[in-house]
Structure 1
Amino acid sequence: MKRFHFMLVGVLIATSMLVTAPSLQMSYAHQRALFNINGQDYLFVVGSLNEPISVDDKTGVELRAMYPDPSNPIDSRANGTKPVTGLEESLKVEISAGDKNMTLNLEPAFGELGSYESEPFYPTIATTYNYRIFGDINGTAFDVTFSCNPAGGEAAQSDNSTVQISEGVERKALLGGFGCPEERIGFPEPYISQYEVSQALNRTSN
């Protein structure tokens, strides 16, 4: 009987780990930034949708905004956090890679207060992508850029120093990061991206 009990407990623990692992991975694959904006603390969690991502994957910018737990302000899962709603009215995101850029709206994520997503896009090359979130928060101009890390989010260095971003905007902490789109591995033939196909077609038509 005891043996059966221990086996049952083991199965339950393993199942819970399988269920929670994806959400934990997604959370830590994003970058957390603690700001003070016009006297109010905000915790932002920024990254790409559906991480990790590769070239030609469907993705988008994800922003989770919350009022942090005063007892643990850099923990986005702390019990005392409260979602910041309504930012779709005052914020946009500019995505840039190399000399190309485009500006998209941030819309509330379905069923998740304080979570916002950009319109989807498909990264066509493996390079550094920058997400510039700009607009107005709490009556104060906000303009901050978050960049992916080619070495992966786990390689990002934390920074707990206080940095004055602009008038009325102070960054108090920066933790973690999010990875850049990676090249796909093709098998048994090398993978050819949609961008490479379009370039080849353009060359043959000229």
Structure 2
Amino acid sequence: MARFGAKLPTLATLPPTPLELVVLALGFPVACSALRAGGLRALARASVPTLCALLAAELAHRWESHPRGHVRLSHLDIGQGDSALIDLPDGTAILVDSGGIVGGIDVGERVLGPFLRARRRDRLRLVVVTHPHPDHFGGLATGAATLAVDEIWDTLAEEAGAPQAPHASPVTGMQEAWKAWRSARRAAGTTVRGPAEICGEHVLGGAAVRVLMP
């Protein structure tokens, strides 16, 4: 059972929506009454409407969370630094930066990860890291640890002249975590592009994206 549960990390950590909580609150007393009155068979029959309602609520939430036909920009409240999710017209999304506080809370674990799970994002069309400061890339390693990523625009590559932090500093640890995440994504088939490749105009998910400078 433990092995089976470990294979479903995303399902196990999806936060319920308000509508799903209402469905559960209404369905629970019905299920308890059915169990007392007719045992497990009655419980199974009584649970069918609740499960169908939960499925409908989840599908409706996913449809609302992935808007189509227009662009939606969401800025995350991560304190110092930046992080924004751009929903594209075709339903895919771009994550621009991820926040990060040196020596502080893990904004990837506490903010970015829960936000992406609430939006039911298990895949990103593109992740953009705008510049080599930990308050812009520090949350990726934990906030997007299990996400599939099609493409990364990386301005942190050593060949781009990114400054290296002193040995054994908190910044170094965040840089190493970022590099490990980037390497894992590349090994999984993610395309990683450096500054020389990303300048100019691109069409992504039905939207024009223009990069003026790395």
TM score, norm. by length of structure 2: 0.27
More helix by share: 2
More strand by share: 1
Q: Looking at both structures, which has the greater relative contact order when contacts are Cα pairs under 8 Å and sequence separation is at least 6?
A: 1
